[in-house]
A and B are shown apart, each in its own frame.
Chain A
């Protein structure tokens, strides 16, 4: 228990935070812009991981597997939005919850039909499989660093797209006032499809890059969904900035919770959420 140990844990926390951000940013945008509570969002993470495992096995290369997998998930996202989610825009949240709950059951069973129920693992590619020595005995795996860097690049790209492009402008406008965006003649149908597919792809990508460092297992979608919901609640619905800070906070809380409270690790993130709720019920960056 020395400084390098805590340093490693902090790096792990950051890496987990970035992964959470990729999943939660899609979730928060889909809430904020489309007004949809999408419980099936975690399923895209699971699908991403299984796709990655399956494609990597077939192609023999993780990177090519990811490159081939992401477009598939984009197509899946567009399909689900066009034939499923589109019916929910004018419905009560209650029905959105149930509909996407049904989607989860379908996704889980499809996964079981296509890929089975076994826990799988993905090999870390040769180039990234070594560790960076920190002390004589401890080292930090390069692959984890790679995850953090890739996610950081994606987060920066997302930031630039949302803040600096015309598409991003409509996305931000849509998040703050959907009706007005529609009234200004912006094709909201197309915007919704883009946002949904983008969210799905981000979640799936998170599942893909993290597949080599964690096992690929059936319940992983549910697990990440709940934590991402906590991130969104902490950060505030519809806020990318909130999703980022929330993800880092929850990523750190979860990692250090496991270090300091090994028996109550599962509870720490919810305690953080409860504290934020007491202080700011609308989340750190939520609108009242």
Chain B
């Protein structure tokens, strides 16, 4: 079952307060970078729902992120609509629809097949946006007007303002966290965690395992869409590489680096990986060499991620350790 230990909860609250106050002290560049990190945090949390809680290793998750970004670009470039009131729901719905179709096909398989098939379908969407000149081809779209939130002619929130976007992203990240935490405590959430631990037993108990997996896949896809919406709004730029499998691999690294199955870990993973990349990319042209070695080192030495370290430390000092759960490989 999903639970957060009390000391980690304190750390989380401190982090949340820190993030809420950050724009008052941070430089402009870092406010934009933190917005990116929080968007990636939402993205990584959505993948954690699949990898860490449902046991579905999807290597095509960037597809849903990218599709939502293209919806934003389409609204602004092709339709001339800038109101996020239309944009966000459509982006999330289109991501969810793609996840429904891809999930419906992929969930018929499991294990190695599932990994390869999600990867292949994400590549298909990548190829689609890359090949079609209507969608901007390899270059994608640059757009100059940014979305805003308006009712009628009254603009409530101008998402082109970096501080406004920061707080909107922060609110969406907290909302995603709370939504997923509540979801994981609901009967549905308990059922998908059961599927991860022992699929056969859940089936024997009369659960429709395929539907549970599909619902989880669609929810994760929609949340990835939220992240894609923010990222497109932040950069005012979309291109097919946003949904390439390298993007899917990166977000998977974030989940593992942060600690899968912890929900807050992926946010830490997004933070750590993005800051690492941001720092070393300016130092050396071949910084990806370090990145590759880092990923391998995480697999070898830190499979439980940063959250695993935190939980380990807090459990040592906590009064009673939470009971160990049996998991099957």
Given A102-B292, A102-B299, A270-B123, verify A277-B111 contact (CB < 8 Å): no
A residues less than 8 Å from B243 (CB atoms): none
Q: Please, how many angstroms separate the alpha-carbon atoms of A93 and B119 in the complex? A: 14
Say if the beta carbon of B4 comes within 8 Å of chain A. no
Assess whether B292 is in contact with A104, with CB atoms less than 8 Å apart: yes
Q: In chain A, residues 97-123, which have Cβ atoms closer than 8 Å to a Cβ of chain B?
A: 97-99, 101-106, 108-110, 112-113
Assess whether B252 is in contact with A226, with CB atoms less than 8 Å apart: no
A residues less than 8 Å from B130 (CB atoms): 266
| Complex interface bits, A229-265 against B, C-beta within 8 A gives 1, otherwise 0 | 1101100010000000000000000000000000111
Q: Say which residue of A102, A237, A266 sits within 8 Å of B131 (CB atoms).
A: A266
| Complex interface bits, A24-43 against B, C-beta within 8 A gives 1, otherwise 0 | 00000001000001010000
Q: Please, how many angstroms separate the alpha-carbon atoms of A108 and B286 in the complex? A: 10
Assess whether B253 is in contact with A101, with CB atoms less than 8 Å apart: yes
Assess whether A37 is in contact with B112, with CB atoms less than 8 Å apart: yes
Q: Say which residue of B111, B112, B124, B292 sits within 8 Å of A106 (CB atoms).
A: B292
Assess whether B292 is in contact with A98, with CB atoms less than 8 Å apart: no
Assess whether A267 is in contact with B105, with CB atoms less than 8 Å apart: no
Given A93-B111, A98-B252, A270-B124, verify A105-B131 contact (CB < 8 Å): no
Say if the beta carbon of A136 comes within 8 Å of chain B. no
A residues less than 8 Å from B109 (CB atoms): 277, 281-282
Q: Say which residue of A91, A98, A113, A267 sits within 8 Å of B295 (CB atoms).
A: A98
Given A93-B57, A97-B57, A101-B252, verify A267-B289 contact (CB < 8 Å): no
Say if the beta carbon of A6 comes within 8 Å of chain B. no
Q: Please, how many angstroms separate the alpha-carbon atoms of A131 and B253 in the complex? A: 49
The B interface, classified by DSSP as helix, strand, loop or mixed, is helix
Q: Please, how many angstroms separate the alpha-carbon atoms of A245 and B256 in the complex? A: 36
Q: Please, how many angstroms separate the alpha-carbon atoms of A283 and B117 in the complex? A: 11
Say if the beta carbon of B23 comes within 8 Å of chain A. no
Q: Say which residue of A39, A226, A267 sits within 8 Å of B128 (CB atoms).
A: A267
Assess whether B120 is in contact with A105, with CB atoms less than 8 Å apart: no
Say if the beta carbon of A95 comes within 8 Å of chain B. yes
Q: In chain A, residues 64-116, which have Cβ atoms closer than 8 Å to a Cβ of chain B?
A: 84, 87, 91-95, 97-99, 101-106, 108-110, 112-113
Given A87-B300, A233-B120, verify A109-B256 contact (CB < 8 Å): no
27 inter-chain pairs at a CB distance below 8 angstroms, sorted by A residue, are A91-B299, A93-B57, A93-B111, A95-B303, A98-B256, A102-B291, A102-B292, A102-B295, A102-B299, A104-B292, A105-B291, A106-B289, A109-B288, A230-B116, A232-B116, A233-B116, A263-B131, A264-B131, A265-B131, A266-B131, A267-B128, A270-B121, A273-B117, A274-B121, A277-B109, A278-B108, A283-B113
Given contacts A92-B329, A102-B294, 14 further A-B contacts (CB under 8 A): A39-B249, A94-B51, A94-B57, A94-B252, A98-B252, A98-B299, A102-B292, A102-B295, A226-B123, A229-B116, A237-B112, A267-B127, A277-B105, A281-B109
User: Which residue numbers of A lie inside 8 Å of B, CB to CB?
Assistant: 31, 37, 39, 84, 87, 91-95, 97-99, 101-106, 108-110, 112-113, 222, 226, 229-230, 232-233, 237, 263-267, 270, 273-274, 277-278, 281-283
